[in-house]
Amino acid sequence: MSRIGSRLDELGIVLPAAFAPAANYVPCSRSGSLLYVSGHGPMGDDGMVVGKVGADLTLEQGVQAARSTALSLLATLLGELGDLDRVTRIVKVFGMVNAAPGFGQMPAVIDGCSDLLVEVFGDAGRHARSAVGLAELPFGIAVEIELIAEID
């Protein structure tokens, strides 16, 4: 078993199935040693996690939505690469939060994704990041996150 596969087992993490893009784009695009992963949304037990963080969802629910989104991103990386050990580092995360008016804790929400990436990849999971609040996201999802990974 791969090093990252073993780490996922150790953490009790089971990746969801990678899902197909919702429109006319590809899940990943490679340029040299960089893999750009398209925006992903959060999946919960009952489907997509929707709502505005700070109104429909609590901060903690937003954090969990971002963590769920990170799992979907990893599933897409695994589907593209065949082995997460090919990820040499996470370079950048761009997190978008469907924020209620007056909600300003977007960095805390996106920590749900960032923390998971560090749990899984260790120091190679530490990344540059942006976390912004938006008035709307596609399909009303709570968060959308994209990332750039360096691969071998």
* Predicted structure pTM score: 0.96
pLDDT at 19: 83
Q: Domain count for the chain, please give it.
A: 1
Per-residue tokens: 15: 């990746």
Per-residue tokens: 88: 């040499």
pLDDT at 46: 85
Which region holds residue 82: left if phi is over 0, alpha if psi is between -120 and 50, else beta? left
CATH number assigned to the domain comprising residue 73: 3.30.1330.40
pLDDT at 44: 82
pLDDT at 20: 86
pLDDT at 119: 98
Q: In sequence order, which ranges of the chain are alpha helices (DSSP H)?
A: 3-11, 59-81, 106-121
pLDDT at 48: 92
Q: Which of 129, 53, 135, 138 is nearest to 94 (CA)?
A: 129
Q: Which of 61, 76, 85 is nearest to 142 (CA)?
A: 61
pLDDT at 116: 98
Q: Which domain holds residue 89?
A: 3-17+26-151
Each of the 152 residues of the chain gets a pLDDT tens digit; together they read 799 999 999 999 999 999 888 899 999 999 999 999 999 999 988 889 999 999 999 999 999 999 999 999 999 999 999 999 999 999 999 999 999 999 999 999 999 999 999 999 999 999 999 999 999 999 999 999 999 999 99
